[in-house]
Every structure is written in C-alpha cells, then in structure tokens.
Structure 1
Amino acid sequence: MAGHTRWVFGLWLIVLIALGSMAPAVFSNLAGAGWQANGSDSVAARELAQQHFGGNASSAVQVVVHSDTDKVDSPAVQHVLTEATALFQQDQRFAAVIAPQPGMTISPDGHTGILIAGANANPDDMVKAVTDIKGQLTALSGNGIEVYPTGASALWSDFNKANHDAMLKAEMFSWPVTLAIMVLAFGSLVAAGLPLLLTLAGLVASAGGLVLLNSLTPISVWAMNFAMMFALALGIDYALFMVSRFRAALASSGDPRRAVAETMDTAGKAVALSGLTVLVSLSAVLIVPAPAVRTMAVGIMLAVAFVLAATLTLLPAALGKLGSKVNAGSLPYAKRQQARSPLFAKWGELLYRHPWPFAVGSLAILIALSIPVLSLKVAMPSIQVVPGDAPVRQGYELVQKQLGEGAPGALQIITHAGEAEATAQAAARTPGIAMVTPPQNATDGSGYAMLQAIPSVDPSSGEMRTIVDDLRAAVPSGTLVGGAPAENLDLQQALNDYLPAVIGIILALGFVLLLVALQAPLIALLGTVVSLLSTGAAFGVAKLIFQDGHGSGLLGFTPQGFLDGWGPVFFFAMIFAIAMDYTVFLLATAKEHYEKTGDPQIAKVDGLAHSGRVILAAAAVMVAVFFTFALAQPLPPKEMGIILGVAVLLDAVLIRLVLLPVLLRLTGHAAWWSPAWLRRVLPKISFSH
C-alpha cells in the first residue's frame, strides 16, 4: 500500500465519487417499516386484509378528525373529510377510502371520526406515502377542526423522522468531542485527524452502498442510523491502534515504509481479525426473521467492512506518504510520549504482584450490576417513543380519549365467510375484548370475512399478550388474528425465541476466531467468557434506568416499564463485537511479546504497557460517541447510547485493563499453551515482527 500510494488514493477516490454521489439519498431512499416476524399469523392476516378488503390492513392510514363544537356529520367536518379523501385518491399507493362509520369509527358523542385509507403498497412504501402526504393532511386543520394522521404507517413515519433528527444531532455533537479526545490521546493534530478522515471515507462509501443495496432489497433506514454511530466508534478504534503502532515503529526505524510494514505485520493482523470478529458477531443476527433487524445488521456490517477496508488499505498508504509528518502539529507533551507507556507498565506490574484483590473487586462490581438482568422485561416500543407533539401521538391519544383505551390497537381477524358468525361470537366472549365489529365479507369472491376486535386495554399493555393468545385459541381453526398489536407481539416472540441461538452462535464463532488468532485455547476461552460480564452488567444498568426509571428525570424520558424488544438480540451482538475488539488488541499485543521472549510476565506487563493507552483512548472515544446519543429525545437512540456506552466503559476499565491481565497473570504459560495437534490444524498466525 505504501509503495503504490497513487493507485490506492486513485481507486479510493473513484469509489468515494461513485458511492458518495448516492450517499445524500440514503435517508430518503431506505425503507421505513420491516418491524414484523416473517411467516407469522399477523403478517399473513395483514396480507390477506390488503389483498381482499380494499387495503384495510394494519398498514392502512387512519386520519383522526375531531372538533369540540361540530359533529362528524356537520358540513364543516364533512368538507374536511372530502378534502382528505381527495388527497388519498390522487395517490395510487392508497386503496379504498372508508368514511367514519357510526358505532365503529365515530365516537359516542359524535365529535370524533376516523377516516381509513387502505394500503395499496407494501409496508415500506406505505410509510413513505404517509411521509409524503401527512403535511397536507395536518394542513386541513383549522376553524376548530383538528386533523391527525395515525396508525402503524404514520407511527413509523413520525418515529423514523424523530429518530433520524436525533441521530444527526448526536453525530454533530460527537465529532468535535471525538476530535478533542483524539488530540489528547495522540498529542498531534495530524495523527488525530487522520482516523476521523478515514472513518468519514468509510461512512460515505457505506451510505452509498446501502442506497445501492436498497435497489435490490429493502434496507431499513435504521441501518444507516446505527451504522453511522457504530462505524464511527469502531473505525476510530482501528485507526487509533494502527497509527499508534506506526508512530512507535517509525521512532525505532526512521523508515516510513519499514514502519508501515511492521505496523501491518502486527497491528494490521489484529485489526483484520478484530474486524472479522465484529462481522461474524453481527452476522448471527441475520437468523432472526425480521426484515428491520436483519437489515440493521447488514447496514452495520457494510459500514464496518468499508471502514476496515479503509484501515487496511488507505491508512497504510497515507501513513507511508506522511512519514514523520504524522507527528505534525504536536503538542508539547506528545514529544515525551513513549510507545511503552511507563504508567501502564507500572499498572501491569501492580496487577502482577497483587492479582487477587483486583480480580475479586472487578468481579464483584460486574456481578452486582448484572443481577438486575434476572428481572429484565422486554416489549416492542409504545407510543411514548414518539415525541408528544408528533401528529401520530396526538391522534392516538385523542382516539383513546374518545373511543376507548384499546381503540388505537384494533385486532384484525380474517376467517372463512362460513365461520364468520362463530368467530364473532368466540371473539366477543374472549376476556379483554371490549367490542367486535360485524363481519365484513370480501367482495372479490375469495370467501374470506374480516372482523375487528377492539381490546379493552392500551395496545402496549402487558395484558395484550394474554388477550391475543386467548383470542387465537378461541376462534375456529385456520382463522388468523392480526393487527398492529399482534404484529408487535409476534415480532417480540420471534426475538425471544431466537435470542438463545444468536447468543450461542456469537459465543461459538467468537471463541473460534480468538482461537485462530491466538493459537491458545485457554486464553481464547477466557477472553470469550469474560466478554459476557460487561454485556450482563450493561443490561443490568439498562434495567435499572429504562425499566425502573432511575435517572429518567436527568435523562429526560418517561420509562415504559420495559426495554425495547429488539435490544437484547441486537445490542448483545454489538456489545460482544466491541468487547472482542478490545480483547484482540490486548491479547494480540501480549502474544507479540510472548512470542519474542517466552516469558508470561513480560508478555502480560508489556502487553498492557503497549496497548493500555490505546485501549483507554479508544474506549474514551467510544463512550463519548455513544453517550452523545443518550441526549437524543426518542427513547431507542437513548437506550442504545446508554447501553453501549456503559458496556464499553465497564469492558475497557474493569475487564481489559484489570480482569483479563489478572487472568494472564494467574494462568502464566498455560494461557499461551496449545496442543501439538491443534497447532497442526490451525493456520499459523504470528503477531511478532
């Protein structure tokens, strides 16, 4: 790379121009829905409702029209309904428009009505359709009449926008904070700015790549939101490790190309293996049959792949070109910095002399923080994740006030026409069902009938699980129960069902990759197992904050009483990937010194002395990036920022800088031992140059 800088820069320039030209369209092009469990009854019910009942599915748009003075049948309200209907009829993504119906979608006092515009497109396109038209709909408000688009499609439209705005604000805040930390860590403006520029190149390329990929298969807009944050933190980690190693190699050899070669032969291998571990961890999420969850993983994997490619190609070329100029703009203290940190060397020696107090102390803290996980509750997000001034939330709360607590979450029942009456009677007898609408036969001769069952509780209530299960057990065989609440419950069940498999796959593949990298089964096993401690502790803290509400006033949110349902699956993969990132950095450096000396004490102390400062700086960057998302108003980015930030903080400080070095001390030569048959099977990887 350092010998062919023009080719490397030229090829990256072509890639960035090609993909960068598509990058600005990333948030407008990506899909807005996908929160469903493929193959579930609720998804099948939605598809049948859309196909045979004029699009009156869970993805249909509901427009709440209310007036304190006029009733729904008044000329003024009817005029608004007519104008709203005309707006829907101009867009082919909407199907049949159903006017407010007495006893069903008109409130008992007659002052609130719900206009339903059927879905004539897939859920992703319906979210885009609502986004395009909701401004015109809310503009119909006036003269004492309020108009609010609501329903599942409107919910995702408003929620995605609020989430996107919050993520961008957090990103804008995190970049200067990150740069400040990098300057302090490197002591050089050039060395500090280089990782940021390379990470930016990787992010631009991944944004364009997602737009390109979205033309083949729908990619959730959340994929880019998560990718921006995760790739920024991880890309800086990689560059930090590489630049630090290059500066040390350059100081000893004075030859930039030789320093690049030494860097790639040591830190480069560690970064490549770390990146592979991250990709493998996230790939386990792909088994979950939920499009949004899968594509979030794909988005992060794509961003990590581009950032990793930039780190292993563009960065060595840039370092070879810069040479000693990498230290340009150095602060006074930076000139006194050494590759082997005296401070971390002393820390390593202290841990070596007194391992047990530190081991017991760190374990006690991690276990204590992990205990709340035993009572953690998860569920799909409630309406509270949307800002209070969002039209969808205002419409939702108005429907609850005027038509009943469960009115915004109608359950749709699809059955055969011959069993419609029996289905209606069974549904009406089900505990928790407040009302069942008369059966509506399909007009296309398909033989289906549809009923709406209105629950008596809020759609996000924990009782909905029992209500839906009882309803499905009560109705005739072959009858499908769907609707937005049922879709959320089916998705949550799928996430719960697949969580053990995801955890098992991640742990197994993580161990295998560490084994290949380190060629030593004991330390590979210990490195994998201790990563669970920071994960458990992070979710324990999440339970205390987001379920119990501790600190909610300070963080500015109303607790839902549970953690968002996709958190355990998705955040586990992300936390484990980050934890293994630090594990590889520390153990690869220790292995490098063990290969040179054969002395486990030198390996442990010098491994910490050469990687401790980098791990601490990288962790500071990650914590700063993640905690900026805790300032976001929507709850999911806040959850993500707190959970990942706490996980990185605990992992770096208590595990990588305390517990893992102590385990190296206690295991001695055994940490690096490998049976002869295993050495013959594994590919030979060495970290010493």
Structure 2
Amino acid sequence: MVSSAVRPPGRDATHTGIHGGVLGRFGALMAGHVRIVFGVWLLVSVVLGAAAPSVFTALAGAGWQADGSESVQVRELAQQHFGGNSSAAVQVVVHSEDRPVESPPVQAVLGEITAVFAGDDRFGAVVPPQPGRSISPDGHTGILIAGANASTDEMVRAVDEHKDALTALSDDGVQVYPTGASALWSDFNEANHSAMIKAEMFSWPVTLAIMVLAFGSLVAAGLPLLLTMVGLVASAGGLVLLNEVTPISVWAMNFAMMFALALGIDYALFLVARFRDALRGATDARAAVAETMDTAGKAVLLSGLTVLVSLSAVLIVPAPAVRTMAVGIMFAVVFVLAATMTLLPAALGALGGRVDAGSLPYAKRQQHRSPRFAAWGRILHAHPWPFAVGAAAVLVALAVPVLGLKVAMPSIGVVPSDAPVRQGYELVQARMGDGAPGMLQIVAPAADAEQVARVAQSVAGVAMVTPPQTAGDGSDSVLMQAVPEVDPSDPRMGDILSGLRGALPDVALVGGAPAENLDLQQALNDYFPVVVGVILVLGFALLLVALRAPLIAALGTLVSLLSTAATFGVAKLIFQDGHGAGLLGFTPQGFLDGWGPVFFFAMIFAIAMDYTVFLLATAKEQYERSGDPATAQIDGLANSGRVIFAAAAVMVAVFFTFALAERLPPKEMGIILGVAVLLDAVLVRLVLLPALLRLTGHAAWWSPAWLRRALPAISFAHR
C-alpha cells in the first residue's frame, strides 16, 4: 500500500499518473485541493447548519389534501364566509359529569377558552356550544369551535402553541380537550416525530458497529457516518430555507433522516471499499481516488440519479404533503450525493493509507475481490436455473397477497390513547354518536337550503343534518353539517359521501375532514398507476443509457419491480392482516396507510435500483475488460457482493430500528423499507440477477449499432 505522501521521482504532483474519464479527473481534483473542498463544506455546514435546529418547528404540519378537490373548495368557502368554521377549525370539547354545559362553572371555563384564542388572528369566530348542533343530548358535553383564519399549516402551528394552555383549563369537575383535524395533526406529528427521533438515535450505534465489522477499520467506518451527518445538516437547513418559499411538510425531514442515513452509508461504503483496493496498485492516493471515481464513482452517481428520478415521479401527485415528502428526500439525497462526490474523495486523498487506521486484525487480510462471493458466483454459473426459478418463485409467492391490499387514510387509532385529541374524539363519540367527530359539511345557496337539507337527511348513513348557518359576511350561501352514522374511518363513510354528492343538486358542495381524507385517497389511487409507469420508464431509460444494453436494462427494471411487489405483499400480510402484530407491538388497522403505495413504491424501487446499479456497473466493468460474460457474472459478484451485503445489512439495521417505535407510521415505514432491502439484496441482487446474467450470456450486454450510436459512450472501466 502506498502512502499519499509518496510520489514517483521526477514528476510533478499534478501529473502523478492521473488518467481516465471525467469523474476520475474530477476525483483527483478534489483530492488535490483538500483545504478548498473542506473549507467549502465547512461554510455550507455552518450557513445551513444555523437553520437546521429549527427544522422540526419551522416545517409545515398539514398539507394532507387533494388540491382542487370538492372538499378543499368547501373548506375555503367555510373559511371565507362562515367565520372559519371549516375542517381546519379547532374544536374544543368541554365535558362535566355532574354539571350541564349551561351551568356557571362550565360557562366560566368556556370563557377562559375563548380568552386563550383572543388576540391570535389565526383564529376566526369563536362559537360556543349550541343546543341541537354542538351539545350532547344529555347536556353534559359541548364543542366550542374556534374558526380557522389561516392556512391549514398555520392552524396546526396555532394548536401547537395553545393546546397546553387549553388542556391546563381542566379541573376536577370539567375536562377540556382540543380536537379537530388541526389538533389531530398536531398530536400526530408530535408523537411520530418523537418516536422517529428515538429510533434514529438507536440506529446510529448499531450502524457504526456494522460499519466497523464491514470495514474492519474505525477510520474507514467513520467516514460514511461523517458524510451522512454533513448531508443531513445541509439538507435540514436547506429545507428550512425552502419552507420560506413554499410550505414543506415536517414529514419531509422525517423521511429524509431515515433515507439519507441509509443511502449515504451505502454510497460511501461502495467508494471506500473500492479506494482501499485501488491503493494497492496506485502510484499514490490521488491516483487511487481517480481510479475509484472513474469506476465506483460512476455507479454511485448513476444510483443517485436513479433515486432522484424515482422520487421526482411523486411530484405529479396533487397533494402538498406527499410532494414535499419527496422534495425532502430529494434534498437529502442531493446533499449526500454531493458530499460523496466531492468531500469523500478529498478525505480519501488526504488520508491515503491511513484510511485503514485502527484496523481490526482480519481487515488486513481482506480483498476487494471476495473469494467467498467469487465461489458463490461460480455456483450460480454452474446451476443458474434452480436458483433463478427458486428466487423468482419466492418473490412471486410473496407478491400474490398484494392483490388483496386495501388502503385508507390513518384512523384516530394511530394517535396515542392519552393524547387530548383522541380523548376528546372518543368522548364526543360516546356522547353524540359514532359519526359526530367526523361531520360532513355542505355549502349551498340559501335559496336551496330547505331542499338540500331534506335530500341530505334522506341519504342512507346520514344520522342528522344540523340547521343551516347563514354566512357571516352577508353572502347568499349557507353551511350545514351532516352527521354520519359511522366512525370517520369506517369504510362505509365513502359510500355516504358518494351518496350525498350523487343525491344533492350540483349547486351544493360536500366537504369536511372525512371528505378531505377520502378525496386525497382517491387522488392517490388515481395517480398511482401514472407514478408507477413514469418510474419504470425513467428507471429503464437510465439503466439503458448507463449500460448501453437493452436486455439487461429491461431485466434489471423488471426484477426491481418484482421485489417491490413482494415487499407490498409482505406489508399486506403484516399491517393489513396483522400477522406478527403482537410481536411487533401494534394493532392492525385493517389497511395500509393511504399514502403508502405511491410513496413507498418510489422509495422501494429507488433502493432496488440502487443495488441493481452497483451490481450491473461492476459486471459491466468486468465485461468491458474481458469480453467474457462468465467473467462479468462471476467477477461482478465477487467485486460487489461483499459491498452489497454490507450495505444491505446497514440499511436493514437502520430501517428495522424504526420497528421499535411505539407509533404505527414510523413502524410501518421502517418495517416495509427494511423488508424491501432484505428481499432485494438477498434474493434479487445476490441470486436472481446474477443467475439471469449467466442465462443471457453475451445477449445481456448486446445492443444494436444504431442504439450504440445514439447513446453516450459510458465506460465503467478505469483506463
């Protein structure tokens, strides 16, 4: 191994055998200007890091809506004409076992609640409990409504700021619980953020331990974590600044933390492993960096682009929260990728042979070309059909349950049982009926109020319709509340909403919090096939451009789709059917969260393509050198197998730590993504795809002459 301080005699430091492609020369440039690269990243980290600590308080808490839907129109009309009595209004439940709502002690508490809202212009009209509308039949439970005079995101922030003051008004005789959609998102975000932070903190030491075992060196193991931290800090600060331009969901950072940690380590692992091997034959550290970037660097760049392309397809869904979650991950991937392509080469150039400092005894005996994975490659080469059929059969069997997958927006059950919003929700149900917490709102012209009320009352599943509320600004419209007979998360709610919209005249619009959830779910369902199609086409196009081989690009895309389908099949068995729910510590909702298919498909496919790129780029490099498909298959696996296995172990550890979270959404995210990595790395990248390379032989790497002329000449071999 040659230290970075050693150079061939008689040659200038800028010409120490550096050759190869653009990325190789770029990597050498980074390694040759360590102070400048470190200085730029230090500046970026300081500037963006100053904003990073406020990321979870600054980002938006709502945005779960289908833009342009009928329910959003109703919310906007209610906010404009009816004092903010919309789905975003804050509903404060006041209950006393021994005193009616009209009693002086309860009225005094209602006055104190009104005082909490006073002076905050985000709240509109405050409407005390009304008989026949918002007081229970027994008279002991009432709902005060504080209208929404701001965006849904601002209303969630308003609840964040005032909910402690509201719940503090409870005493021995009167209970106070802020509820409603804004309060629900406030408690939901807070509970899940806390759970994700705990899981994230637990994942770091586990990840470090796996990295040390994989690299056998404390310094080499620490580099990926350092790069990931830099990328996370930069992306957090960037999201805060972007939030000043357009609201970004707080879930964007939650997902970004998980995904950036996994991908950052993935990329660094691939480059550092290749660098350690390149050092053995390079003239100095810069030459080793050049060789690393010229080979593994191309695979990392292509992988990053594939992830970004997959996530960009989610941006077509007209739901702000879903779009900004994709933006958050893309931000993190961009910063982690930038750090991997610039800061890591500089660090490797500076360290040289010291990258193995603090090595464990076995590390010095490690070779980049793993004898064990070479032996496994020869087994697959000798017996491709049994392994290909076996792996495909397992994946298809796991994918079959996806045909029965059900999706819906999360129910109140995902909120902690001691959260005020859930306590108020359940109290309203107990005193006013199952559907009372999820009233549907109807906005209609005043002249049609009587007819609309009569028709709405006749719709199956509607328990009652409240008297019309006239517009506070004098406009010629009224607002009515239709109380359903079922819980807002009951599957029958969709039929009730459809029945109302179908029966009412066109001049009447139906909305409310349950309608917003159902409209969002419908939009997600409608856009899901489009998102899948865009991701598949773009994923295939990227592989085709990089590999210049249509058959293997198509096979790589198809096996990624198969592993994604298998993951969703497992998700259905766990989260819908409840298999293993007792062991994992959750109560199944009977469905997968509605945003899951669109978002998880993009993430899982991105991860699957990540490993596809690593394996096929390495195999293509071997094929370019030898022209032999057997060498490409065996040596491709021998040179990438250990890295894929180690990267998968890190990803699985990162994702599965979220299975320990108490809340269902982070548990759902962690388990689904962990299963995706496990299936993809073990069954697809280390079995099925190498077997397909063996079965297709030269055809895997063939392309027609016209296609070779049309595509850019990309080589994965260092020349």
Choose which of 223, 241, 261 in structure 2 pairs with 1:232: 261
Name the residue aligned to 1:617. Answer: 646
Q: Among 173, 179, 194, which residue is 1:165 paired with? A: 194
Give the conservation status (yes or no) of the 8 Å contact 1:178–1:625: yes
- TM normalised by structure 2 equals 0.95
Q: Which residue of 2 aligns with 1:255?
A: 284
Alignment of 1:265-414 (within 5 A): 265-414=294-443
Q: Partner of 1:61 in structure 2?
A: 90
Distance 1:481 1:389 in 2: 32
2:597 counterpart of 1:573:
no
Correspondence for 1:646 among 669, 675, 678: 675
* Residue 549, structure 1, aligned to residue 598, structure 2: no
- The within-5 A match list for 1:136-215 is 136-215=165-244
> Contact conserved, 1:387 with 1:633, CA < 8 A, in 2?
no
Corresponding residue SS for 1:253 = coil
Question: Which residue of the other structure, out of 479, 486, 489, is the alignment partner of 2:518?
Answer: 489
Please give the alpha-carbon distance, in whole angstroms, between the structure 2 residues aligned to 1:141 and 1:189.
54
* Amino acid corresponding to residue 560 of structure 1 in structure 2: Q
Q: Whole-Å Cα distance in 2 between the matches of residues 12 and 684 of structure 1?
A: 32
Q: Report the Cα distance in structure 1 between the residues aligned to 2:699 and 2:262, rounded to whole angstroms.
A: 34
Structure 1 counterpart of 2:150: 121
Q: Does 1:598 align with 2:622?
A: no
Amino acid of the residue matched to residue 328 of structure 1? A
Q: Give the Cα–Cα distance (whole angstroms) in 1 for the partners of residues 473 and 200 of structure 2.
A: 51
Aligned to 2:23: none
SS of match in other structure, 2:32 = coil
Which residues of structure 2 form unaligned runs of 5+? 1-29
Aligned: 1:13 with 2:49: no
- Matched with 1:533 is 562
Deviation at 1:451, TM superposition (A): 0.4
What is the rounded CA distance, in whole Å, between the counterparts of 2:698 and 2:563 in structure 1?
26
1:685 paired to 2:714: yes
Structure 2 distance, partners of 1:52, 1:253, is 74
Query: 1:448 deviation in Å?
Result: 1.1
Shift of 1:344: 0.2
| Partner in structure 2 of residue 607 of structure 1 | 636
User: Residues 632 and 638 of structure 1 are in contact (CA less than 8 Å); yes or no, is this contact kept in structure 2?
Assistant: yes
How far did 1:501 drift?
0.3
Deviation at 1:478, TM superposition (A): 2.5
Structure 1 position 143, deviation (Å)? 2.0
Aligned mates of 1:254, 1:665 — CA distance in 2: 35
Which of these residues, 480, 487, 490, is aligned with residue 461 of structure 1? 490
Give 3-state SS (helix, strand or coil) of 2:145's partner: strand
Aligned to 1:131: 160
Matched, 1:498 2:527: yes
Q: Secondary structure at 1:476's aligned position in 2? A: coil
C-alpha deviation, 1:313, in angstroms: 0.2
CA distance in 1, matches of 2:139, 2:472: 29
Give 1:252 deviation, angstroms: 2.0
What is the CA deviation profile of residues 512-556 of structure 1, one whole-angstrom value per residue up to 9, with x for unaligned ones? Answer: 000011010000000000001111111111111111111111111
Aligned partner of 1:637: which letter?
P
Mean Cα deviation higher: 75-84 or 649-658: 75-84
The separation in 1 between residues aligned to 2:574 and 2:402, in whole angstroms, is 12
Indicate the SS of the match to 1:21: helix
Aligned with 1:558 (options 587, 599, 604):
587
SS of 1:115's partner is strand
Following superposition, the deviation at residue 390 of structure 1 comes to 0.7
Whole-angstrom CA distance in 1 between matches of 2:547 and 2:588? 43
The residue aligned with 2:108 is 79
Runs of 4+ displaced beyond 2 Å: none
Residue in structure 2 matched with residue 670 of structure 1 by the alignment? 699
Shift of residue 360, structure 1, vs aligned partner: 1.4
Q: Distance in 2 between matches of 1:318 and 1:349?
A: 36
Q: Is this contact kept in 1: 2:307–2:606, CA < 8 A?
A: yes
Alpha-carbon distance in 2 for matches of 1:74, 1:254: 88
* Counterpart amino acid of residue 631 in structure 1: L
Q: Which residue identity is paired with 1:556?
A: G
- For structure 1, the residue ranges without an aligned partner over 5 or more in a row are none
Query: Offset at 1:256?
Result: 0.4
> In 2, distance between residues paired with 1:578 and 1:369?
18
1:576-624 per-residue CA deviation (whole Å, 9 max, x = no partner) reads 0000000000000000000000000011000000000000000001111
Contact 1:432 1:455 in 2 (8 A): yes
> What SS does the aligned partner of 2:280 have?
helix
* Aligned mates of 1:338, 1:61 — CA distance in 2: 62
User: Offset of 1:634 from its aligned partner?
Assistant: 1.7
- AA aligned to 2:381 is Y
Q: Is contact 1:428–1:436 with CA below 8 Å preserved after alignment?
A: yes
TM-fit CA distance, 1:148? 0.5
Structure 1 residue 254: Cα displacement: 5.0
> Shift in Å at residue 646 of structure 1?
0.4
Identity %: 77
Partner of 1:514 in structure 2?
Answer: 543
Q: Which string of whole-angstrom CA distances, capped at 9 and with x for unpartnered residues, describes residues 486-515 of structure 1? A: 000000000000000000000000000000
Taking only aligned residues, the RMSD between alpha carbons, in angstroms, comes to 0.6
- 2:83–2:472: 8 Å Cα contact kept in structure 1? no
- CA–CA distance in 1 between the matches of 2:466 and 2:276? 73
Alignment partner of 1:630 is 2:630: no
TM-aligned CA deviation for residue 440 of structure 1: 1.4
Residue type of the alignment partner of 2:238: G
1:652 aligns to what SS in structure 2? Answer: helix
Native 8 Å contact 1:468 1:486 kept in 2: yes
Measure, in 1, the Cα distance between the counterparts of 2:73 and 2:263. 39
Q: Distance in 1 between matches of 2:708 and 2:599?
A: 34
CA distance in structure 1 between the aligned counterparts of 2:450 and 2:281, rounded to whole angstroms: 85
Structure 2 residue identity aligned to 1:494: A
State how far apart, in whole Å, the 1-side matches of 2:476 and 2:704 are: 68
Write out per-residue CA displacement over residues 275-321 of structure 1, whole angstroms, 9 at most, x where no aligned residue. 00000000000000000000000000000000000000000000000
Q: Distance in 1 between matches of 2:472 and 2:324?
A: 37
The TM-score normalised by the length of structure 1 is 1.00
- Partner Cα distance (1:337, 1:372) in 2: 42
For residue 2 of structure 1, give the secondary structure of its aligned residue in structure 2: helix
Matches of 2:656 and 2:447 in 1, distance apart? 57
Equivalent-residue separation in structure 2 for 1:322 and 1:417 (angstroms): 76
1:325-381 Cα distance to aligned partner (Å, 9 max, x none): 000000001011011100000000000001111111111111111111000000000
Q: Aligned partners of 1:388, 1:456: CA distance in 2, in Å?
A: 23
One-letter amino acid matched to 1:321 = A
1:445 shift after superposition:
2.2
Higher alpha-carbon deviation: 626-635 or 196-205: 626-635
- Give 2:10's aligned residue: none
Q: CA-to-partner distance for each residue in 1:231-256, whole Å, 9 max, x for gaps?
A: 11001000000000000000222510
